[in-house]
Amino acid sequence: MPEGDTIFRAARAMNQALAGKRVTRFDSALPKLTRVDEDTPLTGRTIESVSSAGKWNLIRFSGDLILLTHMRMNGSWHLYRPGERWQRQKNDMRIVIETADFVAIGFNVPPAEFHTEESLRRKAELRELGEDLLGEDFDTDAALQKLRSLAHEEIGIALLNQRVMAGIGNIYKSEICFACKVNPFTRIQSLNDAQLRCLIETARKFLKANVREESARGIVTYTGFRRTTGRHNPAERLWVYGRRALPCRQCGTKIEAKKDKVDARVTFWCPNCQLPTAELNAETQRHGKP
């Protein structure tokens, strides 16, 4: 699934290419979008801006019309020059927004709907979004309080909760926990504030490092170059994710992997660097064992 940095880069590139441009053609394979286009045509409107909110993409058109999309597991937005060959199959096309200079194609974006500013404010998924890790007004204390409210939740699952912090996906979840030496299956109630702040601040650092301006060129879907280690060698770009049974980059212990209970996503961790000591101590106190 595309993570927050992917959505941010996509929105930034689309905004650079499309903002201020007039729509010359709109097409969609989604009937609910074509109905709106028939009633209030997109052609002739100006694209005012493209922005992201967590994992959502928002395209604002003149006349108080907003296209809201989510990439889910396989969605993506591509930018092409008019007449340029697409890199995805035509059957995957869901939305086409064409201007004189660029064509934006939304592939496999199942959640796609038009809104006004008023209806967008009522959209529960947006209204309930947690602190946006790539937002300029990110509030660490607010994110910490929301994590604390999920005291009995495993930290790895809580990090994926977009109502806590918006933007973290499965790759970052494992990488963030490793960087802070926190076992991803530890209950939040067993973590102290310093550990939680480390997780929050590392999440923000990792995402911001992967949306630097030089990373915004070309097709704006995730292509496998996300880095958390800071190393330039592509083979060493991640600490633990996707490295089951390979040696830990810090201690040499074999990386382990396990499917999560909630949605069967796979979590990766080092059993030596990320010892579940806090969780074990909490269990000992709970059951009165020596």
Spatial separation of the C-alpha atoms in residues 116 and 275, rounded to whole Å: 49
- DSSP class of residue 249 equals T
- DSSP class of residue 45 equals -
Please indicate whether residue 265 is annotated as part of the active site. yes
Catalytic residue among 9, 12, 48, 55: 55
Closest by Cα among 58, 56, 45, 62 to 3: 56
Nearest 5°: the CA angle 222, 223, 225 is 100
Q: Residues 112-142, buried b or exposed e (16+ Cβ, 10 A)?
A: bbbbeeeebeebeebeebbbbbbbeebeeee
Question: What sign for the dihedral angle of Cα 201, 206, 210, 213?
Answer: positive
Catalytic residue among 9, 173, 226, 265: 265
- Residue 72 structure tokens: 């889910």
- Residue 270 structure tokens: 């080092």
Which H or E run contains 268? strand 266-269
Please indicate whether residue 3 is annotated as part of the active site. yes
Which phi and psi (to 5°) does residue 242 adopt?
Answer: 75, 15
**Cβ 127 vs Cβ 144: under 8 Å:** no
- Residue 241 structure tokens: 């994710």
Which phi and psi (to 5°) does residue 53 adopt?
Answer: -140, 100
Residue entry with tokens 């939680």: 196
Catalytic residue among 3, 48, 98, 154: 3
Please indicate whether residue 82 is annotated as part of the active site. no
Q: Which amino acid is at 148?
A: R
State the Rg of the chain over Cα: 21
Please indicate whether residue 231 is annotated as part of the active site. no
Catalytic machinery residues: 2-3, 55, 265
